[in-house]
C-alpha cells in the first residue's frame, strides 16, 4: 500500500522539483500582476518580457513575495518588484519584467466633434479593443467634463481630450462658505479665475487685501478648505 502511494505522488514531487527558482519567481510576478489588474476592470493578459534573474544565495528554502508594480495600469512594458526570502527571512529584492495588454471597451467619437462639446451617448460609440489603449482612454461617459479640443471621427477619446465644464468664470459673483466645527460663515466674493466642479478657484472678497483659493462646489458656489 505504501509503495502504491509513493508511486502516485512521485510524479508530482518530481515535477515540483524540476521547477527552477527563476520559473517560480516569474509565476509569482504574473500572479501578482493578474490580481492587481483585476481591480481595474476589463481583462488583462500578461507574459514575461525577459527571463528573470534570481540573486545568488546560500543554500536554503527560497520564496518570493511580490510587493508592487512599476505602473498603476499594467499595460505595455512594466515590472513587478519582488522580495526574495531565504528560509522565511527577506534577503534581497529583484524585479520581473512583464508585458501586459488589455481587452475591453473604449469610447470612440461617432463623428467629428467640436471643442467644448459635452459628450452624450449619441456622440460616442463603445468599441471593442485589445492591446495597449491610449493613456487615459475613456471607458464610460465622464460627468462634469467637455472636450477641450476638436476631435475627428473614430478617435478613441481620452481624459487628455477633456476639461472640466466651468461653473465659475472670472468676474462671476461666488458665494464662499467656510466651516469650522459647528460654525459656518458665508461671504460674497468675486472670482478671479475660472473653474469647474471640484477645481480650485481664486476669489477676492470686498475690502480684502489678498485673494483666497477655494473649491468650487456648484454654480456660483465654493467652499474654503
Better-scored residue on pLDDT, 17 or 206: 206
pLDDT mean over 16-27: 84
| 108-167 pLDDT per residue, tens | 999 999 999 999 999 999 999 988 889 889 999 998 899 999 999 999 999 999 998 889
Count Cβ atoms within 10 A of the Cβ of residue 166 and give its class: 0-12 exposed, 13-18 middle, 19 or more buried.
buried
In this prediction the pTM is: 0.60
pLDDT over 90 at 12, yes or no: no
CA–CA distances in Å: residue 104 to residues 32, 44, 80, 137, 160: 20, 9, 23, 11, 19
CA distance linking residue 165 with residue 146, whole number of Å: 6
Average pLDDT taken over every residue of the chain: 88
Which of the residue ranges 66-70, 117-121, 202-206, 207-211 would you say has the lowest mean pLDDT?
207-211
pLDDT over 60 at 3, yes or no: no
Please list the residues that pair with 218 across neighbouring strands. 221
pLDDT over 50 at 27, yes or no: yes
pLDDT over 90 at 107, yes or no: yes
- Quote the cell numbers at residue 78: 512594466
Read off the DSSP letter of residue 209: S
Percent of the chain with pLDDT over 70: 92
pLDDT mean over 55-74: 90
| 166-203 pLDDT per residue, tens | 899 999 999 999 988 889 999 999 999 988 888 899 99
Q: What residue ranges do the domains of the chain occupy?
A: 19-100, 103-164, 166-223
DSSP 97-139: EEEEEEEEEEEEESS-B-TT----TTTEEEEEEEE-PPTTB-S
Question: What pLDDT is stored for residue 6 in this prediction?
Answer: 43
Question: At the top level of CATH, which class does the domain 166-223 belong to?
Answer: mainly beta
pLDDT mean over 206-223: 89
Is 166-223 in the same CATH topology as 103-164?
Answer: no
DSSP 65-95: EEEEES-SS--EEEEEEEEEEETTEEEEEEE
Question: At the top level of CATH, which class does the domain 103-164 belong to?
Answer: alpha beta
CA distance linking residue 127 with residue 56, whole number of Å: 48
Read off the DSSP letter of residue 148: S
Residues 23-45, buried b or exposed e (16+ Cβ, 10 A)?
Answer: ebbbebbbebbeebbeeeeeebe
Question: What pLDDT is stored for residue 149 in this prediction?
Answer: 94
Percent of the chain with pLDDT over 90: 65
Question: What pLDDT is stored for residue 10 in this prediction?
Answer: 52
pLDDT over 50 at 67, yes or no: yes
Better-scored residue on pLDDT, 209 or 102: 102
Give the distance, in angstroms, between the CA of residue 137 and the centroid of all CA atoms in the same chain: 11
Task: Report yes or no: 165 and 219 within 8 Å, Cβ to Cβ.
Answer: no
**Residues 6 or more apart whose Cβ sits within 8 Å of residue 61:** 86, 87, 88
Question: What pLDDT is stored for residue 17 in this prediction?
Answer: 52
Question: What pLDDT is stored for residue 13 in this prediction?
Answer: 44
Report CA torsion sign: 68, 74, 40, 119: positive
Amino acid at each position: 500500500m505504501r509503495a502504491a502511494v509513493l508511486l502516485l505522488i512521485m510524479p508530482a514531487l518530481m515535477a515540483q522539483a524540476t521547477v527552477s527558482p527563476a520559473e517560480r519567481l516569474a509565476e509569482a510576478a504574473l500572479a501578482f500582476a493578474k490580481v492587481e489588474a483585476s481591480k481595474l476592470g476589463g481583462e488583462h493578459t500578461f507574459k514575461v518580457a525577459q527571463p528573470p534573474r534570481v540573486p545568488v544565495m546560500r543554500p536554503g528554502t527560497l520564496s518570493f513575495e511580490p510587493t508592487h508594480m512599476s505602473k498603476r495600469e499594467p499595460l505595455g512594458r512594466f515590472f513587478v518588484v519582488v522580495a526574495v526570502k531565504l528560509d522565511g527571512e527577506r534577503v534581497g529584492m529583484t524585479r520581473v519584467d512583464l508585458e501586459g495588454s488589455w481587452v475591453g471597451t473604449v469610447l470612440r467619437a461617432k463623428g467629428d466633434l467640436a471643442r467644448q462639446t459635452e459628450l452624450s451617448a449619441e456622440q460616442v460609440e463603445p468599441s471593442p479593443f485589445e492591446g495597449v489603449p491610449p493613456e487615459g482612454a475613456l471607458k464610460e461617459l465622464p460627468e462634469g467634463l467637455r472636450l477641450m479640443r476638436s476631435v475627428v471621427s473614430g478617435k478613441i477619446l481620452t481624459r487628455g481630450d477633456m476639461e472640466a465644464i466651468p461653473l465659475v468664470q472670472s468676474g462671476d459673483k461666488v458665494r464662499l462658505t467656510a466651516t469650522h466645527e459647528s460654525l459656518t460663515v458665508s461671504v460674497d466674493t468675486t472670482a478671479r479665475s475660472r473653474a469647474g466642479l471640484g477645481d480650485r478657484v481664486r476669489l477676492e472678497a470686498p475690502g480684502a487685501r489678498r485673494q483666497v483659493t477655494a473649491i468650487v462646489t456648484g454654480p456660483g458656489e465654493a467652499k474654503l478648505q
